[in-house]
Structure 1
């Protein structure tokens, strides 16, 4: 029983380490509407620097929450979209956003 609680707390702590990073939940929120190019993300979140956006996108890709797709058109484009795992997290964060609208 105690091991189950420890495992649950470790999982919760890991999730909070991911979504607790500045800009992560906002990036996921924006990508919930569908794939976006880097420049679109940068425009939609104007206070987020390009360097930090790039860093967060790489982290989210490493966590398996988003996928980066290079489109070999002229010019070459890169799009970012949520994976199934990222979409599910986006839905969960949507509940938090609804709570915030109601209570904050």
Structure 2
């Protein structure tokens, strides 16, 4: 599935713009993996439990980079690997992801995030403050749950 270039968007509606950039399942899951568990490499993303196909992963990473949501740089430890990180534009998606987490915690009785009661309580009380804290954490190379899980 070829993703559109910026000038190929169906309309200039604000909701449509968001859907065109990050509204597909795989793009949001890549962003989730960076924010929540600190994934950085192609191999890391490939190991996600949802089972993304290699061609779809390569396409989504390239598209998110092209759209300025992700940046790619060689790993300092192994130059054969690339590290993907969120740009400022990508970091601005954190409040959206946080609100999806809140919605899911409320409506999905089997959601993994329900096991993180303290985190969900903090989110519920002040999602914007938590979003800003998470932005700073991810901007500095961290993630919400460095031990894994979400």
Structure 1 residue 71: Cα displacement: 3.1
The answer to whether the Cα contact below 8 Å between 1:66 and 1:86 also exists between their aligned partners in 2 is yes
Structure 2 Cα separation of the partners of residues 75 and 12 of structure 1: 38
- Give the CA deviation at 1:37: 1.0
Equivalent pairs counted in the alignment come to: 96
Show CA shifts across 1:32-64 (max 9, x none): 144511101111245101110000001101111
TM-score normalised by structure 2 residue count: 0.56
Q: 1:45 to 1:61 in 2, by over 3 A?
A: farther
Please, which runs of 5 or more residues in structure 1 have no aligned partner?
1-8
The answer to whether structure 1 residue 12 and structure 2 residue 48 are counterparts is no
1:98–1:92 distance in 2 versus 1, CA, 3 Å = same
Q: Point out where structure 2 has 5 or more consecutive residues left out of the alignment.
A: 1-11, 109-150
Aligned equivalents of 1:21 and 1:74: distance in 2? 31
What does residue range 37-76 of structure 1 map to in structure 2 within 5 Å? 37-71=41-75, 73-74=77-78, 76=80
Q: Which has the higher helix share?
A: 1
Alignment pair present for 1:95 and 2:89: no
Cα separation, partners in 2 of 1:10 and 1:76, compared to 1, 3 Å: same
- What is the TM-score normalised by the length of structure 1? 0.78
Root-mean-square deviation over aligned CA pairs: 2.0
Residues in 2 aligned to 1:67 and 1:27: alpha-carbon distance in whole angstroms? 13
Q: Secondary structure at the match of 1:36?
A: coil
Q: Does 1:24 align with 2:2?
A: no
